[in-house]
Amino acid sequence: MSNDILKELAAILEARKSESPDASYVASLYAKPDKMLEKIGEEATETIIAAKNEDKEQIIYETADLWFHTMVMLAQKGLSPDDVLNELARRFGVSGHDEKASRK
């Protein structure tokens, strides 16, 4: 189910590219890329606060907001959730220390 919802949401986000910013929240974010990036930062901060407060319900809620706005950014850049999932799969089974060292 989780991968299905990502695909469904990605399709909706793609469709919003042709909508008016006045009619669609997502289209309004596409029209103002800096605002879209600010929303990602805002949602990341709210997720951190929820985690620090040990509020599991808020952690889930804020993480959903963070993922949503990140998916908007991915779509705006011509990327999909599959691109991120493929990168996670590539890293799977690789030590975090080794993966980080390979980036240098």
What average pLDDT does this structure show over 36-54? 97
Dihedral, CA atoms, 56, 62, 63, 69, nearest 10 degrees?
170
For the cut 60, the answer to whether the pLDDT of residue 100 exceeds it is yes
Phi-psi region of 75 (alpha: psi -120 to 50; beta: other; left: phi over 0): alpha
pLDDT of residue 104: 67
What average pLDDT does this structure show over 68-85? 96
Average pLDDT, the chain: 92
Write the pLDDT tens digit of every residue in 86-97. 999 988 887 777
pLDDT of residue 24: 96
For the cut 80, the answer to whether the pLDDT of residue 99 exceeds it is no
Supply the DSSP string of 58-94, one letter for each residue: HHHHHHHHHHHHHHHHHHHTT--HHHHHHHHHHHTTS
